[in-house]
Structure 1
Amino acid sequence: MCAETIAEPVAELSPTAPAAAAPATSDLWERLRAGFALPTRLDDRRVQLHLQWFKRHPDYLNRVVARAEPYLPWILDRIEQAGVPSEIALLPIVESGFNPFAYSHGRAAGLWQFIPATGRRFGLEQNWWYDGRRDWVAATDAALAYLQANRERFDGDWLLALAAYNAGEGNVLKAQRRNQARSRATDFWSLDLPRETEKYVPKLLALREVFTHPGDYGLELPPLDPDQRLELVETGSQLDLALAAELAGLPLETIYRLNPGFNRWATPPEGPHRLVLPHGAATGFRQALAGLPEEQQVQWQRHRVGAGDTLIGLAKQYHTTVALLQEVNQLRDHRIRRGDHLLIPTAREALDSYSLSAGQRRLALQNRKRAGHKQVHVVRPGDSFWDLARHYKVGVRELAGWNSMAPTDTLRVGQKLAVWTRAPTAANPNIALQRVRYRVRQGDSLARISQRFRVSISQLEQWNDLDRRRYLQPGQVLTLYVDVTRQAGSG
């Protein structure tokens, strides 16, 4: 999805409205096919290329269907209510592969891949606690509103509406104006659009053909369990997600996968105060929650303000926000006094138990084993992804991706980044470099170590993320890549 958008009124769709009861045909896949309505061109080369790829990769299709299974019935219900072609239910395959935690190098997030600006335009809140772009319930309605607005702009043409969803309305309008100036047709197939967009619409049309004839592509479409049909359950106020899992009798990971918009260990203080739960768990959850006093939905700690304490520091220490501390403790500003007592909401479990929170997902990605040598870079003032990529000789997108970020995301001073670099090789192919761990001794300096091991100071800095303006500390361990045949007696 593109950042270039044109503001206009859009049809309102309530993100919290319950899904409608299933139509007379309860088979999801029959309902999906019955609603296909997009004009297609199976003879187009781009559509055929996608179909050939899908035929060669049935495992991919089946993995995507397995990921889509929890979300697809709800999404199809909303599509039927909105009266749009049911192929739109397959659009998250094109956008995210039905991965609710998908995040692109262009800062697009969630099943429907909203970028920040377009998400805000369609009412998707984004803050420390919550990202509405990943809240697939809210984002589904936002995507339908966006697509319907595009369809009106392009005189009812769904293919142009889809192209605008990917490239931005402005880019499609410019392409149309270029063709009009040359007396050429202005339909999707005639426009000169960005390469990604020219593949985007044909891919969706290819998926329509795949789901029309699944057996021809090795796709297995499983029947869906009615007890797994999803419901929205109101929580009334902020709720610890570990407690929610306990009350619902579900694994905590399931809570996160059904509610991926929640960034932290609890639902947001300001809402949305609701959870998506399987039908089979929703009734028991409601009953258990009704018997729980509201003040017990989140665990509280009483903190005595000490010397040097600040609201910012306490928010970081207790994994919450300054705004929430101010609200709970009725503080008008950031000032707190030594000896005062503050009430602070805290997670009931260790933070690493909330394994699909934003912080834990990033940590897992940073710790994933990859080819090469891992280094940890601590962000300094003035650092950017572009400069760091050049310094470590890695791709900008690679570097951002290793850290669950996009190249245009802002880096914070003190933030830790995982960097995977290839182990260096010698210029002479007959020389084998060996990785050596060297413990710094009293009196060592970068210049002395570089002379001892016959490497450059810049290599030492790169291999160990060092700053030559800072002194080495005795006992510090450095990684070096050296020709060990020349290091006899070097220690």
Structure 2
Amino acid sequence: MPAEGNQVVKAPPRMEEKVSEATSATESPHRNTLKKSQQLLDEALEFCTASQDFWAHGDFENAIASLDQAYSLILQADTNDDPKLIQQKEDIRFMISKRMLEIYASQHTVVNGNHDAIPMVMNRHVRREINLFKGAERNFFIRAYKRSGRYRMRILKALKEAGLPEELSWLPLIESGFNVKALSRARALGLWQFIPSTGYKFGLKRDQWIDERMDVDKSTQAAIAYLRELHNIFGDWCTVLAAYNCGEGKVLRVIRNQNINYLDNFWDLFEKLPWETARYVPRFLAALFIVNNPKQFGLDLTDPDPPCEWEVVTTSKQLHLADIAKVLGMSEKSLVMLNPELRYKITPPTSYELKIPEGKRSLLIAKMDKLPAYIPSSRLYSYHRVRPGETLSQLARRYHTSVRAISNMNNIRRENFIRAGRRLKIPTGRRWPVYVATSKASSLQSKSIEYHVRRGDSLWLLARRYKTNIQQIMRLNGMKSTRLHIGQKLIIPKGTHQPPPRGSTAKYRVKRGDSPYQIAMRHNMKLERFLRLNKLTPRSKIYPGQVFLVDVE
């Protein structure tokens, strides 16, 4: 029944409504904070956009001011542990840092001559490295400086043509001591110390016969391309050198983790870099100070070695450098020094630009056809997984070989130390090179094919497939045993069987530890070709058991 005056009496609120109101009252400040933070981040993004516009019109001052304002805004944003806002804030902070580096980089001009394109900073870190070069590393520095004469003028010329600072011509002194065959613990090789993957990225070929990381001219061009790429990212040459040492990814991560809005100076991030990388730049600057004025720092530097000068002769068959050196009237050691990229002192079976002393070209061309051809025999080895406590001496005795043979086959520099778990190649027989006269070699090549052993192959199967016999295959390859190894290269007499046509493909099943790069290299393919053939991207992951297409030689 209605109350007096027809007033409606409201029922008391239900318990659910009370709980909802209380929760809403509690969550409202949280939502407001998140909303305000989102607005601050949106505004910071607008300032980043404005900075880009200022930069495009050449107004560097306002471009930098806009980034400063953007950074002050993201500092005010309270993310309240909201994952979405945390990620947005981090992304904007990284964008500001990177944009600041780009703006400063655009103001740098690369100069040559006697100008200091690389700032010559003297501080306690540089002084420490100078003292090391004067003391404990004195002999290393003097030897490296002496070797620099062989190659530095070629490097200097290439840097000038590329428009990069001339000071970089001394970088190999720090990287390798100007030792063209220097090999680091990280498997970096050559004057410029490329690891295989980076060398591959910048066009350095590495196969059974050649490793272009040791080619002076080609590795220098690769280094120039890499340094230019890094300079486009960082702008500051000292930061570029740090990235050259440890990779741009690591330096960018350090920049991203800083609690400052930007880094326009290498010394801002010096303390945050790995010790070896942080030391790298002061070490380089120390070397520059010394070579520019050695007497000031108490070093008596001897005259550098005379420059290596050469001319080129193109070869298309396999020749041993010892035979070529004999024809040219020079030592094999001197010829090896001109062609350090040849891994076994033998020219490859494909076209190769052989470097010889100036003035010897006509002599070699005249006698080229009379040089004995080299036909590689099978490479006999087995694998051994190192167990804790094993030594190379023990393995050499067990497999009836020598410590030196195992070391050479596995590029081991410290023969008194091997790591447990490492997979070693162990020589199980001699490598029997076969030398034949050129006319005979041509006959053999025209009547035979090159074959790479695959899983399940045997001499009997190969002889049957190619309409020949086991004895002929063994004799042609200098084999003393019928044992085959996967990947072994054989010369097989031609029969009625024809090899697959050029451009053919085969299926390959991925094994544990494989990567697209490794598979491509194993099948003499460009990485881009392998990825495109199998519809992969550079970020694709592959797994054991997957089947991909590879080129057939």
Give the TM-score normalised by the residue count of structure 2. 0.48
The one-letter code sitting in structure 1 at the alignment partner of 2:350 is: E
Residues 110 and 133, structure 1, Cα contact 8 Å, conserved in 2? yes
Q: After superposition, what is the alpha-carbon deviation per residue over 1:215-259, rounded to whole angstroms, capped at 9, x for unaligned?
A: 22323252765xx55124123323321122223332111222232
Q: In the alignment, residue 219 of structure 1 is paired with which amino acid? A: D
Q: Which amino acid aligns with 2:367?
A: L
* 1:177 paired to 2:244: no
Cα distance 1:316–1:135, how it changes in 2: closer, same or farther (>3 A)? farther
Pairing 1:283–2:359 present: yes
Distance in 2, Cα, partners of 1:107 & 1:48:
30
- Equivalent of residue 216 in structure 2, options 136, 159, 162: 136
Give 1:292 shift: 2.3
CA shift digits 1:320-374 (9 cap, x unpaired)? 9xxxx9998225665242243689699xxxxxxxxxxxxxxxxxxxxxxxxxxxx
Deviation at 1:137, TM superposition (A): 2.0
Unaligned residue ranges in structure 2 (runs of 5+): 1-111, 379-426, 435-443, 454-461, 464-468, 479-553
The one-letter code of the counterpart of 2:266 is F
- Residues 298 and 345 in structure 1, CA contact (< 8 A), matched pair in contact too: no
Contact 1:241 1:255 in 2 (8 A): yes
Tell me which structure has the larger Cα radius of gyration: 2
For the residues of structure 2 that align with 1:160 and 1:328, how far apart are their CA atoms? 57
RMSD in angstroms over aligned alpha carbons? 3.2
Matched AA of 1:318: W
**Correspondences of 1:347-362 after superposition (within 5 Å):** none
The change in CA–CA distance for 1:328 and 1:120 in structure 2 (over 3 A counts) is farther
1:265 aligns with 2:345: yes
Does structure 2 retain, via aligned residues, the 8 Å contact 1:33–1:212?
no
Matches within 5 A, 1:41-440: 41-42=121-122, 44-56=123-135, 57-154=137-234, 156-179=235-258, 181-183=259-261, 185-191=263-269, 192-216=272-296, 217-220=298-301, 222=303, 225=306, 228-237=307-316, 238-271=318-351, 273-277=352-356, 281-284=357-360, 286-294=361-369, 296=371, 298-299=373-374, 317-318=431-432, 329-331=448-450, 334=453, 335-336=462-463, 337-340=469-472
Change (3 A) 1:345 1:98: farther
Q: 1:340 to 1:112 in 2, by over 3 A?
A: same
- Identical columns (%): 33
Residues 276 and 62 of structure 1, relative CA distance in 2, 3 Å threshold: farther
Ranked by relative contact order (alpha carbons within 8 Å, sequence separation 6 or more), the top structure is 1
Greater helix fraction, Structure 1 or Structure 2: 2
Number of aligned residue pairs: give it: 292
Per-residue deviation at 1:197? Answer: 1.0
Show CA shifts across 1:121-152 (max 9, x none): 11111122111112222111111110011101
Paired AA for residue 251 in structure 1: S
Q: Write out per-residue CA displacement over residues 423-456 of structure 1, whole angstroms, 9 at most, x where no aligned residue.
A: xxxxxxxxxxxxxxxxxxxxxxxxxxxxxxxxxx
| Letter of the 2:208 counterpart | W
**Equivalence for 1:363:** none
- The AA in structure 2 aligned to 1:177 is R
Q: Is the 8 Å Cα contact of residues 329 and 342 (structure 1) preserved in structure 2?
A: no
SS in 2 for 1:70: helix
The code of the aligned residue for 2:472 comes to D
Amino acid at match of 1:117: S
- 8 Å Cα contact 1:87-1:204 kept in structure 2: no
CA pair 246-332 structure 1, distance change in 2 beyond 3 A: closer
| Contact 1:176 1:186 (C-alpha < 8 Å) held by counterparts | no
Whether the aligned pair in 2 keeps the contact of 1:74 and 1:230 (CA below 8 Å) is: no
Structure 1's 300 and 59: CA in aligned 2 closer, same or farther, altered over 3 A? closer
| 3-state DSSP of counterpart to 2:327 | helix
Letter in 2 for 1:161: V
Residue in 1 that maps onto 2:438: none
Per-residue displacement from partner, 1:355-400 (whole Å, max 9, x unpaired)? Answer: xxxxxxxxxxxxxxxxxxxxxxxxxxxxxxxxxxxxxxxxxxxxxx
Q: Structure 1 219/89 Cα, relative in aligned 2: closer, same or farther at 3 Å?
A: farther
